[in-house]
């Protein structure tokens, strides 16, 4: 099995549905192949973009199992944990390990706004229940819980808590984490329209959303930045920005699914209570996507030997 470096591009995969709301595994396989062909470094299953809140525990395991089988050791698979109970989080962690997942992405407790002590108890209990690597998802903007430096000092005591999805939208937090902990945690930016800035500021990787529709562009930006070719990366990033901004809207799932349809590697169907886009909103988002596709840039070839961690 390909081991986790927590460096590089990690797509937060969409969960493609049929119109009946059943999971469309044929399209899921097509998207996974497009990601691997583009050179991603791992796959994250059943995250927010994967509509985790509408998936059963059984479906989450089925998606992880399918991704593991389809990737066939070419890249590691990470299962997201976004649960309202500690018991449920432990069940997912143990199940993921039994299936052969390489790691976990761990959100704070869902629905209940836990305080610092409760959040740490939740995360450390999960860490003790598995030997898998864990990436902590720090996203106070969307989930209302900020994991501060003192909390990370406690989490650092657990060897398998090894990475952070940095979605505070404060790029200077990367410097604070590096200053406090050095290389103890790998830091992966989790906000698409701050990705270039975050990578230049020292982020080790990118948990990406628009990669679900544009895997080659996403991987190319990462590789160019890490090769020190900032001007070339910035040119692609500026083209990408109108698309990347679709990642920070409450309807990011519907928006990015439309983009994946436009590039032939997704479906637009969602699971209720989400609904597919209609009217002015659909026209507006479709125009953003079609305008970008019309001027999609030619991508430079990169000497991967120049890409440094």
Which strands form 43-45's sheet, in the order they lie side by side? Answer: 8-11, 205-208, 186-189, 161-166, 133-138, 103-106, 77-81, 43-45
Take residue 122 and report the two structure tokens written for it: 């939740």
Pick among 3.20.20.70, 3.40.640.10, 1.10.3720.10, 3.50.50.60: CATH of 8-306: 3.20.20.70
User: Alpha-carbon torsion 238, 8, 143, 157, what sign?
Assistant: negative
CA atoms within 13 A on the CB side of 135: 34
- Return the percentage of the chain with pLDDT > 70, whole number: 97
213 Cβ contact partners less than 8 Å away, ≥ 6 residues apart: 243, 256, 259, 260, 262, 263, 265, 266
Q: Per residue in 97-117, pLDDT tens?
A: 999 999 999 999 998 999 999
pLDDT in tens, 203-236: 999 999 999 999 999 999 999 999 999 999 999 9
Active-site positions? 48, 137, 165
Q: Using pLDDT thresholds of 50, 70 and 90, give the confidence band for residue 305.
A: low
pLDDT digits (tens, 9 = 90+) for 144-200: 999 999 999 999 999 999 999 999 999 999 999 999 999 999 999 999 999 999 999
Residue 8 Ramachandran class (φ > 0 left, ψ -120 to 50 alpha, else beta): left
* Both structure tokens of 78: 């990470």
Per-residue pLDDT, 235: 97
Q: What is the pTM of this model?
A: 0.95
Tokens of 205: 């990787």
Residues 6+ apart with CB under 8 A from 83: 89, 92, 107, 109, 110
pLDDT (tens digit, 9 = 90+) per residue, 35-54?
A: 999 999 999 999 999 999 99
What does the buried/exposed string (b/e) look like for 279-301 if buried means 16 or more CB atoms within 10 Å of the residue's CB? Answer: eeeeeebbebbeebeeeeeebee
Mean pLDDT of 9-15: 98
């Amino acid at each position: 099995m390909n081991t986790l470096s927590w460096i590089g591009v990690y797509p937060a995969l969409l969960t493609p549905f049929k119109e009946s709301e059943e999971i469309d595994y044929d399209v899921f396989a097509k998207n996974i192949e497009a990601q691997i062909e583009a050179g991603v470094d791992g796959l994250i299953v059943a995250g927010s973009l994967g509509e985790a809140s509408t998936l059963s525990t059984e479906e989450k395991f089925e998606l992880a199992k399918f991704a593991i089988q389809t990737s066939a050791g070419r890249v590691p698979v990470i299962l997201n944990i976004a649960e309202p109970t500690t018991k449920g989080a432990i069940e997912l962690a143990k199940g993921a390990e039994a299936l052969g997942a390489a790691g976990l992405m761990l959100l704070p407790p869902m629905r209940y706004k836990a305080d610092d002590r409760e959040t740490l108890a939740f995360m450390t209990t999960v860490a003790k229940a598995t030997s898998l690597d864990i990436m902590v998802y720090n996203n106070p903007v969307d989930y209302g819980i900020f994991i501060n430096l003192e909390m990370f000092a406690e989490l650092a005591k657990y060897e398998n808590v090894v990475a952070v999805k940095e979605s505070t939208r404060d790029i200077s937090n990367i410097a604070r984490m590096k200053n406090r902990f050095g290389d103890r945690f790998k830091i992966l930016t989790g906000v698409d329209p701050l990705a270039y800035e975050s990578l230049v500021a020292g982020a080790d990787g990118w948990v990406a959303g628009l990669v679900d529709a544009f895997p080659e562009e996403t991987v190319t930006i990462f590789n160019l930045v890490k090769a020190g070719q900032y001007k070339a990366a910035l040119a692609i990033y500026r083209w990408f920005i109108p698309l990347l901004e679709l990642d920070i809207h409450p309807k990011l799932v519907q928006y990015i699914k439309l983009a994946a349809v436009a590039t032939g590697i997704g479906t637009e169907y969602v699971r209720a209570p989400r609904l597919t886009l209609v009217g002015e909103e659909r026209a507006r988002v479709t125009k953003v996507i079609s305008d970008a596709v019309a001027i999609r840039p030619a991508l430079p070839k990169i000497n991967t030997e120049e890409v440094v961690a």
